[in-house]
Amino acid sequence: MAGELKVLTANLGMKGTTEIDAVMRRGAYEALIKAMTRMTPDQVLGEVKAANLKGRGGAGFPAGLKWSFLPKGKDKTRYLVCNADESEPGTFKDRLLIENDPHKVLEGIIIAGYATQSAGCFIYIRGEMPQGARVLQRAVNQAYDRHFLGKNILGSGLDFDIWVARGAGAYICGEETALMNSLEGKRGEPRIKPPFPAGYGVYGKPSNINNVETYANVPAIIEKGADWYNSIGSADTPGTRLFGVCGHVKNPGLFELPSTVTLRELIYGHAGGILGDRKLKAVIPGGSSVPVLRADQIDVTMDSAGLKAVGSMPGSGGVIVMNDSVCMVRALHNLMRFYAHESCGQCTPCREGTHWLELLSGAIERGEGREGDADKILSLSKNIMGRTICPLGDAAAMPAESFVRQFREEFEFHIREKRCLPETMRMTTIYSA
Amino acid sequence: MSRDIRELLADKEFQRKMEKLAGLYPEERSALLAALHLCESETGCCGEEFQEYIAGKLGIPRASVKGVVTFYEMFHEKPRGKYLVQVCRTLPCMLAGAEILLDHICGKLGIRPGGTTKDGKFTLVTVECLACCDRGPSLMINDTLYTGITPEGFDKVIKELD
């Protein structure tokens, strides 16, 4: 089993790492100084592009390419946005980065600001993370004091600010254009695209949005170079990734690994195996929105190619492990309740579809399911997929479709027998294990 | 926490905070969520009076402010209990035992999710994923996060609240 490779998490677990003096003694802001004093903005952009840094928020879009979509020119005001609205069930990596090493994130953001010659960056953090917001604001103030933010940073001619903004409890605000509306003091409803954020973002200005972990990758790329970055991980997802493992494992937590690690190594090696020494039943490998896998599908690498081969995707890196005490109908109902609750209601397929998926899975779970209900879930999912303004509809349809496809017999048993499988009558919890 | 809204709006310190918020972002309207958070933490809700005040202050139509207050889970138009108990109910916490915990809390406080205790001390709500899935079950009481909490642990926590 390959060991952890601590690039992004090198400072986690150390003392005082929210303080700028402490992290600067450990090398923080050296990449920023290198970028702004020895490289041109285009060279920085070129390095990030060559590194093939993939977005870590779920979609995996190449960050350098995204940056290059911003229109150039001194007459344009460009903004960056850092998406810290971490709310994908099973995902807890950004919270740990922000609360424990905020300067790593800030350094990446400021380097991106230099590469794109932007005016500033909004960090949009979940309302439910007041501690993270305080830590970030304090770190931002320290960066201003050190002149890493403000006017003419390090004599480079760049004026760059960072604003911390709090959300207020809406999963949909993790969607990029909903987030931008929320930043403008509006309801978090996604915008119709095009226009894309690179042309029309915050306040209608060209904007670039990346996830917290994506920005946190930038300092190491600048410091050590694209070749070094590409020597780690796999061809489709170079570098390390933060995998958060939760659910029925003995040693849940965050693990930083190259995405060449297999799902089996992650669950049985790093996370210590299955809680209660029971059998593995199912695993959601990249946050609740990606298709679920069965126990016999875990011998795959955690990159796009590996997970695609078994019909899933890396998503946000949140791995939810379920042992054989879990009723899959009940688990699906829990997730469908989540998506129905979080749908913003703009698009009919999502607003109505998620609601019906919640009702149907709930009815089957309660023993009120009727013959044909499993197919109804499949048909509802199919009619949501790709028919909405934003990906929330897809995010509900993918688990719905895959739960039924992968565990069809259990759904049929429920409908026929009006009860759960015998082994799932009592679910393992941390209290019972 | 449970200050009167009229008293709050007349408070010089609060007015200073509002001025500062209004100037914090490139455009004033971006301060709306922050202003609502502040009112929520001071008075326990964002009622009509504050909505009218902040609409005027930031130059946003009143209807839009109401639209925002009612969109976001963390804002309330009506006052809630002194302590807002927010129990995560999403899958990872469910796997850890959130349903057992929630049942216990309902019994302990004598209310269902959405309810407020008769003395106005606790309002219980269920919330979605709090992004600490490896340490579930999780809950928040006002701004404070508690993870890996047992039924006994919950009893101890609320005993220490005044």
Predicted confidence at residue A13, as pLDDT, reads 86
Report the CATH number that the domain containing residue A48 is assigned in CATH: 3.40.50.11540
What are the tens digits of pLDDT across the range A243-284?
A: 999 999 999 999 999 999 999 999 999 999 999 889 999 999
Residue A13 lies in a domain: no
The residues, ordered by sequence, that sit 6+ positions from A428 with a Cβ below 8 Å of its Cβ are A248, A275, A276, A278, A323, A325, A326, B95
Question: Which of A77, A250, A334 to probe the B interface (max B CBs under 10 A)?
Answer: A334
> In this structure, are A267 and A216 located in the same domain?
no
Of the three residues A211, A230, A249, the one that is the final residue of a domain is A230
Residue A4 lies in a domain: no
A131 vs chain B: nearest CA distance in angstroms?
A: 8
What are the tens digits of pLDDT across the range A177-230?
A: 999 999 999 999 999 999 999 999 999 999 999 999 999 999 999 999 999 999
Residue A401 lies in a domain: yes
> In this structure, are A99 and A220 located in the same domain?
yes
Residue A431 lies in a domain: no
Q: Which one is the CATH code of B83-160: 3.20.20.140, 3.30.450.40, 3.40.30.10, 3.90.700.10?
A: 3.40.30.10
- Any A CB within 8 A of B156 CB: no
> In this structure, are A138 and A249 located in the same domain?
no
- Any A CB within 8 A of B13 CB: no
Residue A253 lies in a domain: yes
Domain count along chain A: 3
- Any B CB within 8 A of A305 CB: no
CA-to-CA distance for B125 and B101, rounded, in angstroms? 13
CA-to-CA distance for A397 and A88, rounded, in angstroms? 15
Predicted confidence at residue B100, as pLDDT, reads 96
> In this structure, are A372 and A395 located in the same domain?
yes
CA-to-CA distance for A91 and A296, rounded, in angstroms? 23
User: Hey, CA dihedral for B18, B20, B24, B27, is it positive or negative?
Assistant: positive
What are the tens digits of pLDDT across the range A101-138?
A: 999 999 999 999 999 999 999 999 999 999 999 999 99
Strands, DSSP E only, in A234-373?
240-247, 253-258, 280-284, 293-294, 318-323
Residue A7 lies in a domain: no
Specify the CATH number of the domain B5-71. 1.10.10
What are the tens digits of pLDDT across the range B32-78?
A: 999 999 999 999 999 999 999 999 999 999 999 999 999 999 999 99
Q: Does pLDDT of A376 surpass 90?
A: yes
- CATH code 1.10.10 region(s) in chain B: 5-71
Of B71, B90, B134, the CB nearest to A187: B71
Those of residues 30-49 in B touching chain A at CB distance below 8 A are 30-34, 36-37
What are the tens digits of pLDDT across the range A201-212?
A: 999 999 999 999
What are the tens digits of pLDDT across the range B104-147?
A: 999 999 999 999 999 999 999 999 999 999 999 999 999 999 99
Report the CATH number that the domain containing residue A264 is assigned in CATH: 3.10.20.600
Both structure tokens of A187: 């309801």
Residue A172 lies in a domain: yes
Torsion from C-alpha of A110, A111, A114, A120, nearest 10 degrees: -20
Can you state the angle between helices B12-22 and B48-58, rounded to 10 degrees?
A: 50
Residue A399 lies in a domain: yes
Helices (H), A343-391: 348-365, 373-384
The residues, ordered by sequence, that sit 6+ positions from A307 with a Cβ below 8 Å of its Cβ are A263, A285, A286, A290, A300, A301, A313, A314
Mean pLDDT of A60-78: 95
- Could you tell me the residue range of the domain that residue A206 belongs to? 20-230
Which residues in chain A have Cβ-Cβ distances shorter than 8 Å to B131?
A: 86-87, 91-92, 94-95, 126, 128-129
Of the three residues A230, A248, A276, the one that is the final residue of a domain is A230
Q: What residue of B is the nearest CA neighbor of A243?
A: B134
Q: What residue of A is the nearest CA neighbor of B25?
A: A163
Helices (H), chain B: 5-10, 12-22, 32-43, 48-58, 62-71, 91-96, 98-109, 151-159
Predicted confidence at residue B1, as pLDDT, reads 54
CA-to-CA distance for A186 and B64, rounded, in angstroms? 7
Question: What single letter denotes the amino acid at residue A39?
Answer: M
**Are A335 and B150 a contacting pair at CB < 8 A?**
no
Question: Which of B28, B134, B152 to probe the A interface (max A CBs under 10 A)?
Answer: B134
Of A128, A203, A338, the CB nearest to B26: A203
Q: Residue A248 has what DSSP assignment?
A: S
Of the three residues A230, A253, A270, the one that is the final residue of a domain is A230
What's chain B's average pLDDT? 95
Give whole-number Cα distances, A18 to A11, A142, A193, in Å.
Answer: 10, 10, 38
Which residues in chain B have Cβ-Cβ distances shorter than 8 Å to A322?
A: 95
Q: Does pLDDT of A62 surpass 80?
A: yes
> In this structure, are A215 and A249 located in the same domain?
no
Q: Does pLDDT of A1 surpass 80?
A: no
Beta-bridge mates of residue A376:
none
Of A168, A254, A427, the CB nearest to B74: A168
**Are B133 and A91 a contacting pair at CB < 8 A?**
yes
Entry pTM: 0.97
> In this structure, are A221 and A354 located in the same domain?
no
> In this structure, are A310 and A338 located in the same domain?
no
Those of residues 63-102 in B touching chain A at CB distance below 8 A are 64, 67-68, 71-75, 86, 89-92, 94-97, 100
> In this structure, are A49 and A26 located in the same domain?
yes
Q: Does pLDDT of B2 surpass 80?
A: no
- CATH code 3.40.30.10 region(s) in chain B: 83-160
CA-to-CA distance for A24 and A22, rounded, in angstroms? 6
**Exposed / middle / buried, residue B80 (Cβ in 10 Å: 0-12, 13-18, 19+):** middle
> In this structure, are A350 and A202 located in the same domain?
no
